[in-house]
Amino acid sequence: MNRLVPLFGLLLACAPDPRPAPDPQPDPMGSAGGEADAHWTGSLDEDSFAALHELTGEAAPPLHGETIALAGGEAYLSVPEGAGPHPGVLVIHEWWGLNDHIRHWADRLAEAGYAALAVDLYDGQVATTPDEAMPLMQGVDEEAALAILEAGHELLASDPRVRAPKRGVIGWCFGGGMSLKAAQRLEGLDAVVMYYGRVVEDPAALQTIDAPLLGIFANRDTSITPENVTAFDAALTEAEVIHSIHRFDADHAFANPSSARYDHENATEAWALVQAFFDEHLR
């Protein structure tokens, strides 16, 4: 049996955040042109990425991707400029759902040169409060979610706009745990990034992972504790998974600028690690 960090602990880690999640349904008329373009400076660096989350309504910067059909639902695809092929990255949302914060992450990855496909594991639903988010996360059917990830993984290889020769996955919190599950299940992954997601401490359950893994964790996380991370690190080593674990003196959700626990300095360092990791394994 897999030794998993208890789900209840992960719920608690995701929950205590008094700041609202980004606007889940952007106004397409208010997100392009005029004042919006005046604020847009790109999202690659941490300062610009954080600034995206401070602008709302007509001042909000435009999104650069598009909504597409995927596995009976929808996803958000953001592709770099120029003809492909482009390396591809599956993007898995936090417990809030596929909101603008995650779309901005997809755009950020596209700006870095990756075709980013942000999947929706909540069937179009988006939460803005913990009371809304908890039942959405608890209601996820794991097999159905993995089927969506499989479809997204295949789309990155076959879509003529992408034709990804190499593909990776990234996720945060709930999405970090699903990123690990994708690594355990999907064939043909070339890189896995998980931010403070639910871990597995049983080496046997990790032996199906073929891709190198980058784990980003927070030392003050009360659910994915330093002890859990140490056990996960040891299990990956025993399972002979190529991996790199990085721990930051921060709280859960420290990389989300819309979170009260956002830590600019550590988020900057973590993003640099992600860029270097994807550049090494997906280019």
pLDDT digits (tens, 9 = 90+) for 179-233: 999 999 999 999 999 999 999 999 999 999 999 999 999 999 999 999 999 999 9
pLDDT per residue as tens digits for the range 146-180? 999 999 999 999 999 999 999 999 999 999 999 99
Domain boundary assignment for the chain: 7-21+65-282
pLDDT in tens, 227-254: 999 999 999 999 999 999 999 999 999 9
Q: Beta strands 88-92 and 73-78: pairing type?
A: unpaired
Q: What pLDDT, on the 0 to 100 scale, is given for residue 45?
A: 80
Residue 281: predicted pLDDT: 99
In the prediction, which pLDDT does 49 show?
Answer: 74
CATH class of 7-21+65-282: alpha beta
- In order, the DSSP letters of 35-73 are HHHHH---SSSHHHHHHHTT--GGGSPPP-SEEEEETTE
Q: Do residues 215 and 241 lie in contact, with contact meaning Cβ atoms separated by under 8 Å?
A: no
d(CA 34, CA 17): 33
Mean pLDDT (the chain) is 87
| CB contact at 8 A, 99 and 178 | no
Q: pTM of the full predicted structure?
A: 0.85
- Measured distance CA(109)–CA(115) in Å, rounded: 7
d(CA 211, CA 190): 5
pLDDT digits (tens, 9 = 90+) for 66-104: 999 999 999 999 999 999 899 999 999 999 999 999 999
Instruction: Give the sheet arrangement for strand 88-92, strand by strand.
Output: 66-70, 73-78, 115-118, 88-92, 167-172, 191-195, 213-218, 243-248
Distance of CA 209 to the CA centre of its chain: 18
Closest CA to 42 of 33, 32, 51: 51
